[in-house]
Structure formats: C-alpha cells, structure tokens
Structure 1
Amino acid sequence: MNILDAVYHTVHDFKGGATALAIRLGIRSPAVLNSKVNPNTETHHITLLEAVKLMVITGDYRILQSLCAELGKVAIDLPDIPESQRDTTLMELMLNVDIKKGDCSGVFKQMMADGRITAGEARDMSTIVHQMIEQLVTLEKQINRCVDSNREVTHV
C-alpha cells in the first residue's frame, strides 16, 4: 500500500472516520481532514506531526509501515520494559538546557573575542543566562512532577 492510500485508509477505517478524528487532530473541520487525506487532492496535505498524532490516536500504523516499505526499512515494536520508559518531555527539556548552554558559550566567546565587554554584550549575555535559568527551572519542576507521579499512596 502506498503512503497516500495508507493515510486515507487510516482515517476512513477509524470508527467515526474524519468526523471523529478531525477535532482530536486539531483540524477545524472533517471536510478539511478529508481533503488532506484524499490521494487525489493536490492543495491540502497532512503534515508529519498530524500523521504521527493520527497513528497515536488510531493505533493504526499503516502509514509508518508504508513509509518503511518505501524506504526499504522495517519498524519493530520496542519491548515493554518499565525501567526503559522515558518521559520525552523531560528529555526535551534537558536538550533545551543544553541548547541554551551552547548559546551561552557562543555569546561568551563573542563577548571575549576583543578582550573587552561592552554594555550591549553584557545585555546579550544576561538575556541568554536568564533564558537558561528559565529552562533549568522548568526542568527542575518537571523532574519533581515525575517524582510526585511515581509516589505511592499509603492508606491509613
């Protein structure tokens, strides 16, 4: 099955079809979703993020399977090992902290290049440092949420 057919059938084979899926995908109208998944429509297309969300909602992986077939690859289910479950939000936050750290290093390098620090350079550095602090605080909050959600409730 080609990719366009896989997308079409994923939507139309789902109970309730485009009507049931449009709202859950954040698409205003079932007609727009129908247009996006119609293999004969050239003006509207489903995005990659919508395709992923569609597969998550429906549990139907024909889109992924057709992509793999097109590319000569295979997709396999990962084993369900509780210890390996990752909080992708937490990982994304950590990567954002690392990105800000890189930004901070780049601004610092530029600032120090001529051996003096101007008021503008100090402001730029301050902005980057504050953005990094915001990312760190967000990371800390998410880590604490993970701890709270794993806490066992004891009954007295």
Structure 2
Amino acid sequence: MGGLGVHTPSYSEKSAVAAMLSLFTVGFNIGWAALTYVVTTEIPTLRLRDNSQRIASVMNVLTFFAVSFSLPYLMDAGYANLQSKVGFIYGSFAIASIVFVYICVPECQGRSFEEIDQLFRMKIPLRKFHKHELPDEVTEIDVNGISKA
C-alpha cells in the first residue's frame, strides 16, 4: 500500500489501496485482534494469568486508540499528508509484531496448562516448547505456585 502511494496514484492504484485497507481490516480482525485474549489466558502461569490478561487488555485498548487517533492526522493534507504512504509506518509495525511473536510466543499446541507451566519451570527455550518431551506425570500446580504432588 505504501509503495503505491509514493507517486501520484492512478485510479486503479487508488482502488488497490482501498482494497488493501479492507483486506488488512478483515485479516486483522480475524487473526491478530483476537489473539491478545488467547495468548494471555493460555501462556502465563496460573498465578500470573489474571495480571497478564489485564495488562494485555489495557495495552490493546491503548494501541487501538493510538492508531485510531493518529491515522487521520497522518493522512490529512493539513498535517503529515502521508496519504497511502502511511502503509510504510503500519507495515513496519506489522513486521516488528511478526518478529516479536516468533521470538517471544511459544508454540503450545496440544499442551495442557500444567505442561506449559512445567516447561517454563524447566527453563526450556520458547522455540523448543513444541518439541520437548515431558515426563509422563506432570506435577500439578495450584494458584499460588505450590506443588500438589
């Protein structure tokens, strides 16, 4: 989208920019937007789960506000006048988000909450969560982090 706006766009390029904005909105709402709630309720240990959810929810609302508030100023001719070049800014954030997720969010498919807690306690690197074999019996932890074994 940003690349199409570098020069004065034709009608077809303007249509492509509008289509890209629509595609971004649909893709974001189907994918990334809901993941805040999934990741923050499944990944942290039981004693951190509530606080993680609260912090993530507040950050989600603040981020939506910052984008909604700044976008008109970035695009408007009376202010930054970036028009579709604003795609370079938000595209950079999208790439940084993908890198962050790859580095900081472990793959936990098929793992129970207890297994995820055990992997964190064993200090297994996040990129190895999906491959690491746990013993058959995983110690169950209560809300305060105390073993129930």
TM-score range, shorter chain: under 0.3
> Larger radius of gyration, structure 1 or 2?
1
Higher helix share: 1
Name which structure has the greater RCO, CA cutoff 8 Å, separation 6+: 2
> When the two structures are superposed, what TM-score results if normalisation uses the length of structure 1?
0.26
